[in-house]
């Protein structure tokens, strides 16, 4: 599984690094995990030794916030299915968890099957289950129709 990991040195917490990066990067470009190191490993020529970087821990660094209500519960279950993991809560970022544009389309399709309408733009702009639940709309009773 491919994911974006940020390795850094210094006193900052992983959350502080993620917040600083979030100020200048779109959600889809934020690292899944931020890892603090005492020093970056280097080769004899001074370049970064990528093979010597430690394997990051896959668990989400924040406590998993449980869902409130049936919509958050449904969306969280969809995200867990699409992302193939269940170690996160409703306030964790879809993209920090390893989600991407392709998996966001699967979220949209599964939400539609569960009776909810969310758009790709909403998934990108509201990247947590809790935020997405605020903008999701109930699908029309005539499921699959053009509406009207």
Residue 15 is predicted with a pLDDT of: 78
Question: Of 102, 94, 96, whose CA–CA distance to 124 is shortest?
Answer: 94
Name the more confident of 28 and 95: 95
Q: Categorize the per-residue pLDDT at 145 as very low, low, confident or very high, splitting at 50, 70 and 90.
A: very low
| pTM of the complete model | 0.59
> Domain containing 120: what range?
69-138
Q: Tell whether 96 and 47 lie within a shared domain.
A: no
Q: Categorize the per-residue pLDDT at 147 as very low, low, confident or very high, splitting at 50, 70 and 90.
A: very low
Does residue 120 form part of some domain? yes
Q: Tell whether 74 and 114 lie within a shared domain.
A: yes
Q: What is the CATH number of the domain that holds 16?
A: 3.30.300.30
Does residue 30 form part of some domain? yes
Does residue 105 form part of some domain? yes
Does residue 57 form part of some domain? no
Question: Of 28, 31, 45, 26, whose CA–CA distance to 3 is shortest?
Answer: 31
User: How many Cβ atoms sit within 10 Å of the Cβ of residue 116?
Assistant: 19
Does residue 147 form part of some domain? no
Q: Tell whether 75 and 22 lie within a shared domain.
A: no
Rounded to a whole number of angstroms, the distance between the first and last alpha carbons of the chain is 42
Q: pLDDT tens-digit profile of 104-115?
A: 999 999 999 999
Does residue 144 form part of some domain? no
Does residue 58 form part of some domain? no
Residue 100 is predicted with a pLDDT of: 86
Does residue 94 form part of some domain? yes
Q: For residue 46, what are the CA distances in angstroms to 34, 40, 41, 49, 105?
A: 23, 10, 9, 9, 42
Residue pair 39/52 in contact (Cβ under 8 Å)? The answer is: no
Q: pLDDT tens-digit profile of 2-59?
A: 778 889 998 888 878 888 888 888 877 888 788 888 999 999 999 999 999 988 765 4
Q: Tell whether 38 and 85 lie within a shared domain.
A: no
């Amino acid at each position: 599984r491919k994911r974006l990991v940020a390795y850094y040195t210094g006193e900052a917490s992983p959350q502080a690094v993620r917040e600083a990066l979030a100020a200048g990067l779109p959600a889809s470009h934020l690292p899944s995990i931020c890892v603090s190191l005492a020093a970056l490993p280097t080769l004899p020529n001074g370049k970064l030794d990528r093979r010597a970087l430690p394997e990051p821990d896959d668990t989400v660094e924040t406590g998993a916030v449980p869902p409130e209500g049936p919509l958050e519960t449904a969306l969280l279950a969809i995200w867990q299915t699409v992302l193939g993991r269940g170690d996160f809560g409703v306030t964790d970022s879809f993209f920090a968890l390893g989600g991407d544009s392709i998996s966001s389309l699967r979220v949209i399709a599964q939400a539609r099957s569960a009776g909810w309408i969310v758009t790709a733009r909403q998934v990108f702009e509201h990247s947590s289950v809790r935020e997405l639940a605020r903008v999701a709309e109930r699908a029309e009773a005539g499921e699959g129709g053009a509406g009207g």
